[in-house]
Homo-oligomer: A and B are copies of this chain.
Amino acid sequence: MFSQLSLWRPLNIDEVLLNIEGGGNCHPFFYNLEYVLITGKNYIGNDLKANGDITFKTINPELNKENDWVLIEATEVEIQEAVEKAQSAFQSYRQISDEERATFLRTIATKIEELGPELIQVYIAESGLTEARAKVELKRTLFQLRSFADHICTDDWRRTSIDLGENDRKPTPKPDLRKTHIPLGPVVVFGSSNFPFAYSTAGGDTASALAAGCPVLVKSHPMHAGTGELVASAIIEAVKECKMPDGVFSNLNSSGIEVGKFLVQSKGVKAVGFTGSIQGGRAIFDLANKRPEPIPVFAEMGSVNPVIISELSLTTEKDKWVNQYSSSITNGSGQFCTNPGLILGIGSDELDSFSQSLAEEMDKLASTCMLHPQIKSKYDKAKAVVEDSPVTEKISQGNRHLKDNYAEQTIMRVKGKDFLANTQLHHEVFGPFSIVVSCKNLDELNLILEELGGQLTGTIIMKEVEFDLFKPTLEILKQKAGRIIFNGVPTGVEVCASMNHGGPFPATTDSRFTAVGVDAIYRWLRPICFQNFPDTLLPSELLNK
C-alpha cells in the first residue's frame, strides 16, 4: 500500500485566466481558486498507486503551457492488478441488487457534485472549454448517471421472457424456459478528448456498464487526466460509502497507447467502450478481435454529419439557417462528433448567397480555443488538405491573428463533381469547419450521399412541398446514419431513451447499439436461459408474476 502523496498546492494567477462563455465568444475571467488536489496516481480499485516512472503533464491550451500536476502512467503490474481486482469484484457486483447498484450510481453523481468548483476549474485548465460548457456537461453527466439508476429500477429492463412448460405436449414435453440478461464482465472505457465529463471517467460508457453490473476500468484520457482523477476519486468515495466491492472501478493514467493496448488484450476484460478517432477506434477494434477470446468493442468514431439544404429553404429561411449553422459549426470550437462538416445543396445563387453569409457570420465570431495543441495541430493539417486541394475555394476570411491553440473557423466551397472525384475531402475535419458542396442536380447530390461512409447523423432541411422531391435522398440518409434530423442542426445530443448515438461504420464499430440513452446498457449484457429451474434457484425477475 502506498501513502497518499497530497499535492494540494496554490495555482498562480495566470493559470486561472480562462474563458467561460458558451458559443463562439470568450472573455477572460478570474476564478477564486486557491488549491487543487491531484495526486497523479492511478486508482487500482480503491488503492492509489504509482510505481511507474513514466510521467506526464496535461496542458492548459488557453495559456499554452503545462499544468503543474504530474500524472504517473500505470505500470503493467498495476494494470494487471486492476484487471484482477475487477474480475474478483465482478463475482459479487454482478449479484448485487438493481436497487443497490442504482444507489451506487446516484451516490457517484452526488460525490461528483460535491467536488465543487475545483472540478470545474481543473476541467477548464485541461480543456480550454468555457465554464458554462463545463457546467452544462457536468449536469449532463450527473443526469446520465441518474438515468441509468432509474432505468435499472424499471420493470423488465432485463428484457425477460417466460415460456411455461407443457408436460402433456406430444411427442415430447415442452420444457419451462425463462430468459433474462446478465452482465458480460469487466469493461474497459476509453474516454474521449472532447467530453472530459460526459464521455469520459464517469461518462455514458462507465455509467451504462456499472448499471449493467460490469466493473469498469477507465483508461484515463491523457489530455484531461487531472479531471479524470478528480472524478475517479468521487467514484471511489461512492464505492466505499455504498460498500461496493474493491475493484469495481479503476482509473489508469496513460501518456500514450501502451496502457490501452495492455488493457484490451487482458484476458479478464470482457468488453470495450471507446469514443475517439477512427484510427484509434479501429486499432482497438482490431486488437480486441485478434484476442484468443475476441471481445465486443463499441467504438464511436465520429463522422462528417452531412446536411442537405433545399432550394426553397434557402429562398425563404436563409438567415435562420445561416444563424443556426454558424453557431452549430463553431460551438465548442467545432469539437463535437456531430459537428456538421458537410452541407449539400443544388448549385444556385441562393446556395452561393447562403455560403457567403455563413462564412461572413462565422468570420464575425471570435475564434475559440481548442482542447489541446495536438488537436489544434491535427485540425490545421486536416483543414490544409481541403484548402490545398485545387478544386476547393475558401470563402471565409479567417483570422490572421490567432492566439496559440485557437482555431480558425472555416467555410470551404466545392462543386459536386469535384467532391465526388476527390475522396480526401470526404473525411472528418475535427474543428469549426464545414464544406458547402454545390451539386449540379439532385442526382449528383444523392450520389455523393451514397459515396459517403456511415454517419452518426444526417440532416435534411426542406419545405413540405419538397418532401416528394427529397424522398430518395431521405431513403439514402436512413441507410447511412444513426439519427436523422429534420429542419435542424445535428449538434446537441439529447440524453433520452429514444436517442440513437451510433451508426454504420465508420461512425461506430457496431451499428446495432447506441452510446447515448438508456439502451446503451445493452452493449454490456447478454441473454441467459434457465430450463426447468425450480423457483428457489431462479433470478427473481424470472419468477411467475
A519 at the interface (CB under 8 A from B): yes
Asked whether A498 lies within 8 Å of B529 as measured between CB atoms, the reply is: yes
**A174/B494 in contact, CB under 8 A:** yes
The residue in chain B whose Cβ has the minimal distance to the Cβ of A484 is B530
Decide yes or no whether A348 CB sits under 8 A from chain B: no
A474 CB contact (under 8 Å) in B484, B505, B537: B537
State which of A69-77, A436-444, A507-515 sits at the interface with chain B.
Answer: A507-515
Q: How far is the CA of A526 from the CA of B455 in the complex (A)?
A: 13
Would A500 and B527 be within 8 Å (CB), given that A486-B537, A532-B485 are in contact? yes
Enumerate chain B residues within 8 angstroms of A534, measured Cβ to Cβ.
464, 486
CB proximity of A475 to chain B, nearest CB, Å:
8
**List of B residues within 8 angstroms of A394 by Cβ:** none
Q: Which residue of B lies closest to A481 (CB)?
A: B528
Does any Cβ of B come within 8 Å of A80's Cβ? no
Kindly state whether residue A268 has any CB partner on chain B within 8 Å. Answer: no
Docked complex Cα distance between A483 and B453 (Å): 38
Contact between chains at A485 and B531 (CB < 8 Å): yes
Also in contact, A285 and B289, with CB within 8 A (given A494-B175, A497-B163, A527-B502): yes
Given the contacts A174-B494, A486-B533, A531-B484, A512 and B522 also touching, CB distance less than 8 Å? yes
Bound form: Cα–Cα A398–B161 in Å: 43
Say whether A178 faces chain B, with CB atoms less than 8 Å apart: yes
Q: Of B177, B454, B512, B514, which one neighbours A498 at CB under 8 angstroms?
A: B177
- Contact status B483-A529, CB under 8 Å: yes
B483→A296 contact, CB < 8 A: no
Tell me how far the C-beta of A421 lies from the nearest C-beta in chain B, rounded to whole angstroms.
19
Complex contact B499–A525 (CB within 8 A): no
The yes or no answer to A482 lying at the interface (CB within 8 A) is yes
Q: In the complex, which residues of chain B have a beta carbon less than 8 angstroms from the beta carbon of A290?
A: 286
Q: Report which of B175, B487, B492, B529 forms a contact with A482, defined as CB distance below 8 A.
A: B529
A162 at interface, CB cutoff 8 A: yes
> A494 to nearest B CB, angstroms?
6
Asked if A533 and B484 make an inter-chain contact with CB atoms under 8 angstroms apart, the answer reads: yes
Q: Is B177 touching A499 in the complex (CB atoms < 8 A)? A: yes
Instruction: Scan residues 456-499 of chain A and give those whose CB is less than 8 A from a CB of chain B.
Output: 464, 467, 474-475, 478-479, 481-488, 492, 494, 496-499
CB A511 to nearest CB in B, in angstroms, measures 4
A526 & B511 in contact (Cβ 8 Å cutoff): yes
Chain B: minimal CB distance from A244 (Å) = 18
Closest to A534 in B: B486
Whether a CB of chain B sits under 8 angstroms from the CB of A226 is no
Output the least CB separation between A75 and chain B (Å): 27
Measured between C-beta atoms, what is the minimum distance from A538 to chain B in Å?
A: 9
Q: Report whether A487 and B536 are in contact in the complex, using a CB–CB cutoff of 8 Å.
A: no
The answer to the question of A293 belonging to the interface, with a C-beta cut-off of 8 Å to chain B, is yes
Residue of chain B at shortest CB distance from A519:
B527
Closest to A510 in B: B296
Query: A184 in the interface, Cβ–Cβ < 8 Å?
Result: yes
Q: Distance in Å from the Cβ of A479 to the closest Cβ of chain B?
A: 8
Asked if A294 is an interface residue, CB under 8 A from chain B, the answer is yes
A48 interface hit (Cβ, 8 Å) = no
Q: A260 in the interface, Cβ–Cβ < 8 Å?
A: no
How far does the Cβ of A225 sit from chain B's closest Cβ, in whole Å? 30
Nearest-neighbour CB distance to chain B for A153, whole angstroms, equals 18
Report whether B484 and A161 are in contact in the complex, using a CB–CB cutoff of 8 Å.
no
Q: Does A318 contact B (CB under 8 A)?
A: no
A residues 160-205 with Cβ under 8 Å of B?
Answer: 161-163, 172, 174-175, 177-179, 182, 184-185
B527 near A482 (CB under 8 angstroms)? yes
**Chain B residues, Cβ within 8 Å of A530:** 483-484, 486
**Bound-complex Cα distance A60 to B519 (A):** 49
- Closest chain-B Cβ to A303's Cβ sits at a distance in Å of 13
Write the residues of chain A forming the contact surface with B, with a CB cutoff of 8 angstroms.
91, 95, 161-163, 172, 174-175, 177-179, 182, 184-185, 285-286, 289-290, 293-296, 453-454, 464, 467, 474-475, 478-479, 481-488, 492, 494, 496-500, 502, 504-506, 509-514, 519, 522-523, 525-534, 536-537
| 4 additional A-B residue pairs with CB within 8 Å, beyond A163-B494, A488-B532 | A482-B526, A484-B530, A500-B528, A502-B526
Jot down 29 A-B pairs with beta carbons below 8 A, ordered by A.
A161-B498, A161-B519, A162-B498, A163-B496, A163-B497, A175-B488, A175-B492, A175-B494, A177-B498, A184-B511, A184-B512, A293-B453, A293-B504, A295-B505, A296-B512, A464-B534, A467-B537, A474-B537, A482-B527, A482-B529, A483-B528, A484-B528, A484-B533, A485-B532, A486-B533, A500-B527, A502-B526, A512-B522, A512-B523
What 9 A-B pairs come out closest when comparing CB atoms? A500-B529, A177-B498, A163-B498, A483-B529, A161-B498, A511-B526, A289-B289, A179-B498, A485-B531
